[in-house]
Amino acid sequence: MENIEIIRDKDLIMHKFLLKMASKGYSPSTIRNYSYVIVRFLKEFNLPDAKSIDDYYSRKSITKNSRATQIRILRSFGKYLEKEYQINFDLPEPPKTGRVLPIFLSKLEVSRILDSAVKNSRNFAMIAFIIFTGVRVSELVNLKLENIDLKAKTARIKGKGDKERIIPLAKELAEILEKYLENRDIISDYLFPSKYGERFSPLSVQLIVRSISEESGLKRKITPHKLRHTFATLALEAGVSPITISELLGHSSLNTTMKYTHVTNKLTEEAVNKIAELSNLRDHLKIKK
Protein backbone atom coordinates (compact mmCIF):
# COMPACT_ATOMS: atom_id res chain seq x y z
CA MET A 1 0.00 0.00 0.00
CA GLU A 2 1.54 3.27 -1.15
CA ASN A 3 0.52 5.29 1.90
CA ILE A 4 1.75 2.88 4.55
CA GLU A 5 4.89 4.95 5.24
CA ILE A 6 2.77 7.73 6.70
CA ILE A 7 1.82 5.69 9.77
CA ARG A 8 5.31 4.68 10.83
CA ASP A 9 5.05 6.94 13.90
CA LYS A 10 2.10 5.15 15.47
CA ASP A 11 2.47 6.87 18.84
CA LEU A 12 2.20 10.33 17.30
CA ILE A 13 -0.85 9.41 15.24
CA MET A 14 -2.51 7.83 18.28
CA HIS A 15 -1.81 10.97 20.30
CA LYS A 16 -3.38 13.20 17.64
CA PHE A 17 -6.41 10.92 17.36
CA LEU A 18 -7.01 10.93 21.13
CA LEU A 19 -6.59 14.71 21.26
CA LYS A 20 -9.25 15.03 18.58
CA MET A 21 -11.57 12.83 20.62
CA ALA A 22 -10.98 15.00 23.69
CA SER A 23 -11.71 18.15 21.69
CA LYS A 24 -15.06 16.65 20.66
CA GLY A 25 -16.03 16.14 24.30
CA TYR A 26 -15.50 12.40 24.72
CA SER A 27 -15.16 11.36 28.35
CA PRO A 28 -11.75 10.30 29.76
CA SER A 29 -13.03 6.74 30.27
CA THR A 30 -14.13 6.48 26.63
CA ILE A 31 -10.78 7.81 25.45
CA ARG A 32 -8.97 5.25 27.63
CA ASN A 33 -11.07 2.44 26.16
CA TYR A 34 -10.31 3.58 22.60
CA SER A 35 -6.62 3.88 23.41
CA TYR A 36 -6.48 0.39 24.93
CA VAL A 37 -8.11 -1.28 21.90
CA ILE A 38 -6.16 0.63 19.25
CA VAL A 39 -2.73 0.33 20.92
CA ARG A 40 -3.09 -3.45 21.23
CA PHE A 41 -4.13 -3.72 17.60
CA LEU A 42 -1.28 -1.52 16.32
CA LYS A 43 1.28 -3.76 18.02
CA GLU A 44 0.52 -6.35 15.34
CA PHE A 45 -0.83 -4.43 12.35
CA ASN A 46 -0.26 -1.12 10.59
CA LEU A 47 -3.75 -0.32 9.32
CA PRO A 48 -7.19 -1.25 10.66
CA ASP A 49 -8.39 -2.52 7.31
CA ALA A 50 -10.97 -5.26 6.86
CA LYS A 51 -8.43 -8.08 6.32
CA SER A 52 -6.13 -7.21 9.23
CA ILE A 53 -9.07 -6.82 11.62
CA ASP A 54 -10.48 -10.16 10.51
CA ASP A 55 -7.06 -11.80 11.05
CA TYR A 56 -6.67 -10.12 14.42
CA TYR A 57 -10.03 -11.24 15.86
CA SER A 58 -9.93 -14.71 14.35
CA ARG A 59 -7.26 -15.44 16.99
CA LYS A 60 -9.13 -13.90 19.93
CA SER A 61 -11.68 -15.53 22.19
CA ILE A 62 -14.06 -12.74 23.21
CA THR A 63 -17.82 -12.35 23.23
CA LYS A 64 -19.68 -11.28 20.12
CA ASN A 65 -20.69 -7.96 21.66
CA SER A 66 -17.14 -7.18 22.84
CA ARG A 67 -15.79 -7.95 19.41
CA ALA A 68 -18.42 -5.71 17.81
CA THR A 69 -17.54 -2.84 20.16
CA GLN A 70 -13.82 -3.15 19.46
CA ILE A 71 -14.32 -3.33 15.70
CA ARG A 72 -16.39 -0.14 15.83
CA ILE A 73 -13.52 1.54 17.68
CA LEU A 74 -11.00 0.41 15.06
CA ARG A 75 -13.35 1.46 12.27
CA SER A 76 -13.56 4.93 13.82
CA PHE A 77 -9.76 5.11 13.94
CA GLY A 78 -9.62 3.95 10.32
CA LYS A 79 -11.98 6.73 9.23
CA TYR A 80 -9.70 9.21 11.00
CA LEU A 81 -6.68 7.91 9.07
CA GLU A 82 -8.56 8.13 5.80
CA LYS A 83 -9.56 11.72 6.40
CA GLU A 84 -6.43 13.13 8.02
CA TYR A 85 -3.75 11.26 6.03
CA GLN A 86 -5.57 10.51 2.77
CA ILE A 87 -5.00 6.78 3.17
CA ASN A 88 -7.46 4.74 1.14
CA PHE A 89 -8.21 1.21 2.31
CA ASP A 90 -11.13 -1.14 2.90
CA LEU A 91 -12.74 -0.53 6.26
CA PRO A 92 -14.60 -3.38 7.97
CA GLU A 93 -18.37 -3.38 7.80
CA PRO A 94 -20.08 -2.46 11.08
CA PRO A 95 -20.75 -5.77 12.85
CA LYS A 96 -24.31 -6.81 13.60
CA THR A 97 -25.14 -7.86 17.13
CA GLY A 98 -28.23 -8.90 18.95
CA ARG A 99 -30.19 -6.15 20.63
CA VAL A 100 -29.38 -5.86 24.33
CA LEU A 101 -32.35 -4.62 26.31
CA PRO A 102 -31.57 -1.90 28.87
CA ILE A 103 -31.80 -2.80 32.54
CA PHE A 104 -34.02 -0.53 34.60
CA LEU A 105 -35.72 -0.33 37.99
CA SER A 106 -39.38 -1.03 38.64
CA LYS A 107 -41.46 1.65 40.38
CA LEU A 108 -41.23 -0.36 43.62
CA GLU A 109 -37.43 -0.49 43.33
CA VAL A 110 -37.32 3.27 42.66
CA SER A 111 -39.31 3.81 45.85
CA ARG A 112 -37.02 1.53 47.86
CA ILE A 113 -33.80 3.16 46.70
CA LEU A 114 -35.20 6.64 47.43
CA ASP A 115 -36.31 5.49 50.88
CA SER A 116 -32.76 4.30 51.60
CA ALA A 117 -31.15 7.47 50.27
CA VAL A 118 -33.34 9.86 52.27
CA LYS A 119 -31.13 9.83 55.38
CA ASN A 120 -28.46 11.81 53.50
CA SER A 121 -29.89 14.94 51.87
CA ARG A 122 -27.16 15.22 49.23
CA ASN A 123 -27.36 11.58 48.18
CA PHE A 124 -31.15 11.69 48.19
CA ALA A 125 -31.20 14.78 45.96
CA MET A 126 -28.50 13.34 43.71
CA ILE A 127 -30.20 10.00 43.11
CA ALA A 128 -33.59 11.66 42.65
CA PHE A 129 -31.98 14.00 40.12
CA ILE A 130 -30.62 11.11 38.05
CA ILE A 131 -33.86 9.13 38.13
CA PHE A 132 -36.11 12.07 37.26
CA THR A 133 -33.94 13.80 34.65
CA GLY A 134 -32.03 10.87 33.10
CA VAL A 135 -28.70 12.74 33.07
CA ARG A 136 -25.46 10.88 32.47
CA VAL A 137 -23.16 10.55 35.48
CA SER A 138 -20.54 12.60 33.63
CA GLU A 139 -23.11 15.38 33.23
CA LEU A 140 -24.17 15.13 36.87
CA VAL A 141 -20.72 15.59 38.39
CA ASN A 142 -20.09 18.70 36.28
CA LEU A 143 -23.34 20.43 37.24
CA LYS A 144 -22.81 23.73 39.02
CA LEU A 145 -25.21 25.87 41.01
CA GLU A 146 -25.33 28.35 38.15
CA ASN A 147 -26.76 25.60 35.93
CA ILE A 148 -29.89 25.24 38.10
CA ASP A 149 -32.80 27.69 38.02
CA LEU A 150 -35.23 26.59 40.73
CA LYS A 151 -37.59 29.47 40.05
CA ALA A 152 -37.96 28.47 36.40
CA LYS A 153 -37.58 24.78 37.34
CA THR A 154 -34.92 24.12 34.70
CA ALA A 155 -31.39 22.73 34.52
CA ARG A 156 -28.79 23.53 31.88
CA ILE A 157 -26.93 20.34 31.02
CA LYS A 158 -23.67 20.17 29.09
CA GLY A 159 -23.64 16.85 27.26
CA LYS A 160 -21.36 15.04 24.88
CA GLY A 161 -19.43 17.26 22.51
CA ASP A 162 -20.15 20.22 24.82
CA LYS A 163 -23.70 20.35 23.48
CA GLU A 164 -26.00 22.10 25.91
CA ARG A 165 -29.65 21.34 26.51
CA ILE A 166 -32.20 22.80 28.88
CA ILE A 167 -34.34 20.28 30.71
CA PRO A 168 -37.33 21.06 32.92
CA LEU A 169 -37.43 19.87 36.52
CA ALA A 170 -40.53 18.30 38.01
CA LYS A 171 -41.88 20.53 40.78
CA GLU A 172 -41.25 17.79 43.36
CA LEU A 173 -37.64 17.47 42.26
CA ALA A 174 -37.23 21.24 42.41
CA GLU A 175 -38.53 21.14 46.01
CA ILE A 176 -36.06 18.40 46.91
CA LEU A 177 -33.18 20.43 45.46
CA GLU A 178 -34.34 23.59 47.24
CA LYS A 179 -34.46 21.86 50.64
CA TYR A 180 -31.11 20.20 50.03
CA LEU A 181 -29.46 23.52 49.17
CA GLU A 182 -31.07 25.30 52.13
CA ASN A 183 -29.53 22.79 54.55
CA ARG A 184 -26.18 22.37 52.77
CA ASP A 185 -23.23 23.55 54.88
CA ILE A 186 -20.53 23.06 52.23
CA ILE A 187 -19.32 26.00 50.16
CA SER A 188 -18.90 24.88 46.57
CA ASP A 189 -19.79 25.92 43.03
CA TYR A 190 -20.86 22.36 42.27
CA LEU A 191 -24.44 21.23 42.79
CA PHE A 192 -23.37 17.89 44.25
CA PRO A 193 -19.86 18.32 45.70
CA SER A 194 -17.81 15.94 47.81
CA LYS A 195 -17.52 16.58 51.53
CA TYR A 196 -14.49 18.74 50.72
CA GLY A 197 -16.49 20.89 48.31
CA GLU A 198 -14.74 19.44 45.27
CA ARG A 199 -16.08 17.91 42.09
CA PHE A 200 -17.19 14.32 42.48
CA SER A 201 -15.63 11.71 40.24
CA PRO A 202 -18.03 9.50 38.25
CA LEU A 203 -16.66 6.51 40.18
CA SER A 204 -17.62 8.11 43.50
CA VAL A 205 -21.21 8.53 42.31
CA GLN A 206 -21.25 4.92 41.13
CA LEU A 207 -20.09 3.74 44.56
CA ILE A 208 -22.72 5.84 46.33
CA VAL A 209 -25.49 4.45 44.12
CA ARG A 210 -24.23 0.91 44.66
CA SER A 211 -24.04 1.35 48.43
CA ILE A 212 -27.54 2.79 48.71
CA SER A 213 -29.03 0.12 46.44
CA GLU A 214 -27.46 -2.61 48.58
CA GLU A 215 -28.75 -0.94 51.72
CA SER A 216 -32.24 -0.87 50.22
CA GLY A 217 -32.14 -4.64 49.84
CA LEU A 218 -32.03 -4.73 46.05
CA LYS A 219 -30.25 -7.92 45.01
CA ARG A 220 -28.97 -6.83 41.61
CA LYS A 221 -26.20 -4.36 40.92
CA ILE A 222 -27.56 -0.85 40.38
CA THR A 223 -25.54 1.80 38.55
CA PRO A 224 -26.21 5.45 37.61
CA HIS A 225 -26.65 4.34 34.01
CA LYS A 226 -29.42 1.95 35.04
CA LEU A 227 -31.10 4.87 36.79
CA ARG A 228 -30.86 6.74 33.48
CA HIS A 229 -32.51 3.76 31.75
CA THR A 230 -35.17 3.90 34.45
CA PHE A 231 -36.00 7.49 33.55
CA ALA A 232 -36.51 6.52 29.90
CA THR A 233 -38.65 3.51 30.84
CA LEU A 234 -40.85 5.49 33.23
CA ALA A 235 -41.23 8.14 30.55
CA LEU A 236 -42.42 5.55 28.01
CA GLU A 237 -44.83 4.12 30.56
CA ALA A 238 -46.16 7.63 31.16
CA GLY A 239 -46.94 7.91 27.47
CA VAL A 240 -44.12 10.26 26.54
CA SER A 241 -43.06 10.03 22.91
CA PRO A 242 -39.64 8.52 22.09
CA ILE A 243 -38.76 11.78 20.33
CA THR A 244 -39.32 13.75 23.53
CA ILE A 245 -37.32 11.23 25.53
CA SER A 246 -34.44 11.49 23.09
CA GLU A 247 -34.43 15.27 23.55
CA LEU A 248 -34.47 14.96 27.33
CA LEU A 249 -31.63 12.42 27.36
CA GLY A 250 -29.46 14.50 25.02
CA HIS A 251 -29.06 11.83 22.35
CA SER A 252 -26.96 13.12 19.47
CA SER A 253 -29.13 11.77 16.65
CA LEU A 254 -32.55 10.44 15.75
CA ASN A 255 -33.52 8.31 12.78
CA THR A 256 -34.24 9.93 9.44
CA THR A 257 -37.98 10.13 10.07
CA MET A 258 -37.58 11.87 13.39
CA LYS A 259 -34.74 14.26 12.66
CA TYR A 260 -37.09 17.00 11.49
CA THR A 261 -39.25 16.83 14.58
CA HIS A 262 -38.96 19.66 17.06
CA VAL A 263 -39.93 19.05 20.67
CA THR A 264 -41.45 22.08 22.33
CA ASN A 265 -40.61 23.17 25.85
CA LYS A 266 -44.21 22.53 26.82
CA LEU A 267 -43.99 18.86 25.86
CA THR A 268 -40.79 18.28 27.83
CA GLU A 269 -42.23 20.11 30.86
CA GLU A 270 -45.29 17.86 30.78
CA ALA A 271 -43.02 14.84 30.39
CA VAL A 272 -40.98 15.27 33.58
CA ASN A 273 -44.07 16.11 35.64
CA LYS A 274 -45.83 12.98 34.37
CA ILE A 275 -42.83 10.85 35.35
CA ALA A 276 -42.67 12.31 38.86
CA GLU A 277 -46.43 11.86 39.32
CA LEU A 278 -46.33 8.27 38.06
CA SER A 279 -43.58 7.36 40.54
CA ASN A 280 -45.18 9.10 43.54
CA LEU A 281 -42.14 11.32 44.05
CA ARG A 282 -44.23 13.68 46.21
CA ASP A 283 -44.64 10.95 48.84
CA HIS A 284 -40.92 11.07 49.48
CA LEU A 285 -41.06 14.76 50.37
CA LYS A 286 -42.98 13.79 53.51
CA ILE A 287 -40.14 11.63 54.82
CA LYS A 288 -37.31 13.91 53.72
CA LYS A 289 -35.17 14.94 56.72
pLDDT of residue 262: 33
Of the candidates 8, 59, 99, 260, the residue annotated as catalytic is 260
- DSSP characters for 250-271? T-S---TTTTT----HHHHHHH
pLDDT at residue 5 above 80?
Answer: no
Q: What is the third-level CATH fold of 4-85?
A: DNA polymerase; domain 1 (1.10.150)
To the query of whether residue 262 is one of the catalytic residues in this protein, the response is: no
pLDDT of residue 270: 66
Task: Write out the residue limits of the CATH 1.10.443.10 domain(s) in the chain.
Answer: 107-285
- DSSP characters for 187-211? --SBSSB-TTSPBPPHHHHHHHHHH
Of the candidates 160, 171, 179, 288, the residue annotated as catalytic is 160
pLDDT of residue 30: 82
CATH of 107-285, one of 3.40.50.720, 3.40.50.450, 3.20.20.100, 1.10.443.10: 1.10.443.10
| Alpha helices (runs of H) in the chain, residue ranges in sequence order | 10-23, 28-42, 50-58, 64-85, 107-117, 121-133, 137-141, 171-183, 202-215, 224-237, 242-249, 265-278, 281-285
Confidence bin at 254 (pLDDT 50/70/90): very low
Cβ-contact 245, 141 below 8 angstroms: no
Of the candidates 199, 225, 274, 288, the residue annotated as catalytic is 225
To the query of whether residue 160 is one of the catalytic residues in this protein, the response is: yes
| pLDDT, tens only, 145-203 | 999 999 999 999 988 777 888 999 999 999 999 999 999 999 999 999 998 999 999 99
| pLDDT, tens only, 63-109 | 787 888 889 899 999 999 988 888 888 888 877 765 555 677 888 88
To the query of whether residue 32 is one of the catalytic residues in this protein, the response is: no
The strand pairing partners of 156, in sequence order, are 166
Task: Tell me what the pLDDT averaged over the chain comes to.
Answer: 82
Of the candidates 112, 153, 226, 228, the residue annotated as catalytic is 228
Task: Write out the residue limits of the CATH 1.10.150 domain(s) in the chain.
Answer: 4-85
To the query of whether residue 251 is one of the catalytic residues in this protein, the response is: yes
Cβ-contact 217, 112 below 8 angstroms: yes
CA distance 86 to 25: 25
Round the CA-based radius of gyration of the chain to a whole number and report it: 22
To the query of whether residue 136 is one of the catalytic residues in this protein, the response is: yes
